[in-house]
Amino acid sequence: MIAWESMDAGTKSAVGQLLRQHPDYERWQARAHGGDPELTAFLEASTWPDDIRKDRRFYTTGREEPTATLPGFPDMERRLHWHYVDRPVNPGAGTGPAAGVIDRQLAVLARIVGDRQATMAERAYALPWLIHLVGDAHQPLHAASRYGPDGQSDNGGNLVSIVNPFAARYTSMSLHRYWDDLPGPPWLRDGRLASAARSLAALHRPPTSPGTPEQWLDESWRLARERVYPPGDDAVPTISATFHEDALAIAGRRVAEAGYRLADLLQRLLHSGPRREDRNDR
């Protein structure tokens, strides 16, 4: 939502045109309660790579047999390894190449989305992934893991249990989920989403430099190393009020930065060609 509010009209319209070619465009619209269909498509596209985790049309390599490829999709793989890169926060840990390819995919997807020689179907498939992964790259635990003495990764905090006394309902959760949910629940929509986005944007002005995906991931990794794991040696740490306040501020700032940078990236990829009025190729 922050990205959408920051984009110029030409970029919004180019984004809208691409997303209309996405095979799940009608599903996105069916879920909306009225409002601007281009904004609806943009918001639904941003969570689409997570939504397909529970969608039975898709499959996970190594766990399931491939499902039939439906029209408009290159295949139905969920691509779970695209969401993160597992860089160790503790020195000397994690031998061998890091698991996860978000670093490489950010570059590949940006190239496809901006490539006028690629087919509309290819660009439409790449765009929701690009929107989503710019967000993921700003969540510290999508760029880092802590490794145990046995050399095992904690999978970006997914294997770390915490108690969060500030949670509305269930206080037991993984550290990864805690950080994912800090900026707000993924099902926020409509007026409540708009007002949450407005207060974050008011609190955090656009970053001075848009930076590169490698810099965004490096910022995330540094945060993970210094401020994301609760202090102490408890096997299941309880989040303190001080830690929680700090975490909320970090997560809010990261989401705002992701929004501004996504807008900037899409403007550069989609609105740098000839002026729209000079084009009659579609």
Binding site for Zn ion (CB under 5 A): 83, 136
83 vs 204, beta carbon nearer Zn ion: 83
Least spacing, CB of residue 275 vs Zn ion, in Å: 35
14 vs 43, beta carbon nearer Zn ion: 43
Q: How many residues does the chain have?
A: 282
Q: Which H or E run includes 173?
A: strand 172-174
Who's near 14: CB < 8 A, 6+ residues apart? 266, 270, 271
Q: Of 218, 230, 234, 134, which Cα lies nearest the Cα of 176? A: 230
83 vs 123, beta carbon nearer Zn ion: 83
Least spacing, CB of residue 55 vs Zn ion, in Å: 14
Helices and strands of the chain, counted as H and E runs: 10, 2
Measure the CA–CA gap between 86 and 99, rounded to whole angstroms: 5
90 vs 158, beta carbon nearer Zn ion: 158
Least spacing, CB of residue 136 vs Zn ion, in Å: 4
> Which residue lies nearest Zn ion, judged by its C-beta?
83
Residue type at position 163:
V
Q: What is the DSSP letter of 230?
A: P
12 vs 103, beta carbon nearer Zn ion: 103
The CA angle 141-45-276, to the nearest 5 degrees, is 120
Question: Residue 177 has which token pair?
Answer: 């989920």
22 vs 83, beta carbon nearer Zn ion: 83
Least spacing, CB of residue 28 vs Zn ion, in Å: 17
Residue type at position 179:
W
Measure the CA–CA gap between 164 and 169, rounded to whole angstroms: 10
6 vs 105, beta carbon nearer Zn ion: 105
- Rounded to the nearest 5 percent, the helix, strand and coil shares of the chain are 55, 5, 45
Q: For CA atoms 259, 263, 187, 130, give the dihedral sign.
A: negative
Least spacing, CB of residue 50 vs Zn ion, in Å: 5
